[in-house]
Amino acid sequence: MARAGSALAMPEEMVGQAEALDSIQRFLHDLPLGPAALVLEGEVGTGKSALMTATVAAARSRGHRVLACRPIESERAMTFAALGDLLQGLFKDRHPDLPEPQYRALRVATLMEDPGGPPPDQRSVSVATLGVLRSLSRHSPLLLAIDDLKWMDAPSVRVLEFALRRLDTEPVGVVAAVRPGDPSVMPTILDDMSAERRPTRVTPAPLGPDALDGLFRARLGESFPRSVLPRIAAASGGNPLFALEIARAMLRGEIRRDAGKSLSVPATLQQFVGNRLADLPMDVRELLLFAAAVSEPTIDLLRRAARRPERMAAALDLAEQAGVVERAGDSVRFTHPLFASTLYHGMPAQTRRELHTILAGVVAGPDERALHLAMAAEGPDGAVAAALDAAARRAASRGAPDAAADLLEQARRLTPDADAAARYRRSIEASEHHFAAGDTGRARQLLEGMAATLQPGPERAGILRRLARVRYRSDSCAIAADLLGRALEEAGNATELGAGIQRDLTWAVVLCGDVRGAAEHASAALRLVQ
């Protein structure tokens, strides 16, 4: 159990997690000593979110500042969605202790200010975020709470990686919920936040009969016979969400509790949840499908999307009574991410496209509209490609080259064959943005793919020149010089292109140690421009 003076209480529904709560208490107690990470790791439904809630509440009760975000799958393609959530409301009452360029970069990145002038680069946004963390942690320990880390958008990940890696003695902590086997989103950052302190790793314990009894009393207001609780524990594997679903089904009379027999339940939690959602009335399922397909469902948006808006309020009441969603003002959120993912991925492809078509007509922002149009497209579509292209430009203007690159790749895939020039331009721009974001591997793939489809000549020479810059960054000056030599051969009489290649060769060969060769290339470049 947590030791005396702990800020963590033991609510009835957290019975069985004493060891986890004690680890969290120690983490928060030591946070003033400097940067540290707490990783809550467990399968779907094991109680990570409950532990996250307990951690955040305890941190606030200690006087720590908490910045929180809860990324979901549909937000992963959005630009700085998680960073915007973390910093939400931070600049309303006071100007942060930041130089004006950094302050503007953050406000532009998180949609608090229009770009207006030159776009902020990712480094400006990253340095500004580091400044915010340092400024806030001077007043009290600061905790960043991320649930769940897997779905954090790439621009936010890169900015936080930059900032967290540069912390020294500042009392800044990160608590992140992850699932075993999830692809690493911030690969080494949580491990590297402090040279002295390894991350605290907490895995929710499977719940036994006594703990499940406390959970059912707290969440359902019901108790079950002592003979039944061990069977629920066995059928659910001690997974709290699975156990709650079994208990609800038993209360509805859908699962028999015949003595001496194991409970007849679906083999996995996902199957169980899918079956329960399938039993909901059609109006409720339609409402939930729209909510699962949009990044920030609100009552107003769902009403505008509904085919029968007059029945939306009743459907929302039923969904809330079923424990699938909850309301906070105008916002609607799923009580567990598994409900949203089961609904969304269980939809037939045609149904999913129809939903995205409807949502494209009711969402407010042009970027989210473009994403819905892309997910609704059945094949090449010039108008949708143009909308994605415009969204990419807006992402770049906010200092998010990785998001711009992904949007351009979607635009490229949806570009009609007849518009080869647009596909070519989008491929080039996507490679440039990948390069700017540090993803030299994807930039190289795009450029090599383009080079393979072109005949030798000035156009291919331009691609090889770009590829040389990428390979210099990822490999060596020798490889870059070789590619530039091939580009020069193919440039032919294209004077401006040839001069640019000669200039690049000057730098490449001098970096390889060939000063005489560099002088020759520099002279050749001068002759071409005179």
Q: What is the pLDDT of residue 282?
A: 92
Same domain assignment for residues 117 and 238: no
Instruction: Give the range of the structural domain holding residue 178, as residue numbers without chain letter.
Output: 12-202
For residue 347, the one-letter residue type is M
Is 275 within the bounds of a domain?
no
For residue 248, the one-letter residue type is R
Same domain assignment for residues 73 and 219: no
Is 258 within the bounds of a domain?
yes
Which domain CATH number covers 169?
Answer: 3.40.50.300
What 3-state class would DSSP assign to 256? coil
Measured CA angle at 182 (ends 181, 183), to 5 deg: 110
Same domain assignment for residues 128 and 215: no
Same domain assignment for residues 49 and 180: yes
Is 409 within the bounds of a domain?
no
Q: What is the pLDDT of residue 5?
A: 43
Same domain assignment for residues 102 and 227: no
- In this structure, how many other beta carbons lie within 10 angstroms of the beta carbon of residue 383? 10
Nearest of 49, 65, 64 to residue 17 by alpha carbon: 49
Same domain assignment for residues 146 and 241: no
Q: What is the pLDDT of residue 530?
A: 78
Neighbour-count burial of 490, counting CB atoms closer than 10 A to its CB (0-12 exposed, 13-18 middle, 19+ buried) = buried
Same domain assignment for residues 74 and 194: yes
CA distance 465 to 106: 34
pTM value is 0.77
Is 423 within the bounds of a domain?
no
Where does residue 120 fall: left (phi above 0), alpha (psi -120 to 50 degrees), or beta otherwise? beta
Same domain assignment for residues 184 and 213: no
Same domain assignment for residues 168 and 126: yes
Is 479 within the bounds of a domain?
yes
Instruction: Report the sign of the C-alpha dihedral through residues 391, 392, 397, 400, in that order.
Output: positive
Nearest of 224, 86, 213, 75 to residue 151 by alpha carbon: 75
What SS3 string covers 109-153?
HCCCCCCCCCCCCHHHHHHHHHHHHHHHHCCCCEEEEECCHHHCC
Which domain CATH number covers 502?
Answer: 1.25.40
Q: What is the pLDDT of residue 261?
A: 56
Same domain assignment for residues 192 and 75: yes
What token pair was written down for 282?
């059609």
Q: What is the pLDDT of residue 194?
A: 64
User: Do 324 and 277 contact (CB within 8 A), yes or no?
Assistant: yes
Pick the last residue of a domain from 202, 220, 241. Answer: 202
Pick the last residue of a domain from 220, 243, 265. Answer: 265
**How many structural domains are present in the chain?**
3
Is 3 within the bounds of a domain?
no
Nearest of 180, 155, 242 to residue 434 by alpha carbon: 155
Same domain assignment for residues 215 and 197: no
**pLDDT beneath 50: ranges in the chain:** 1-7
Alpha carbon dihedral 451, 454, 457, 463, in 10-degree steps, equals -30
Same domain assignment for residues 58 and 173: yes
Pick the last residue of a domain from 169, 202, 235. Answer: 202
Is 412 within the bounds of a domain?
no
Is 397 within the bounds of a domain?
no
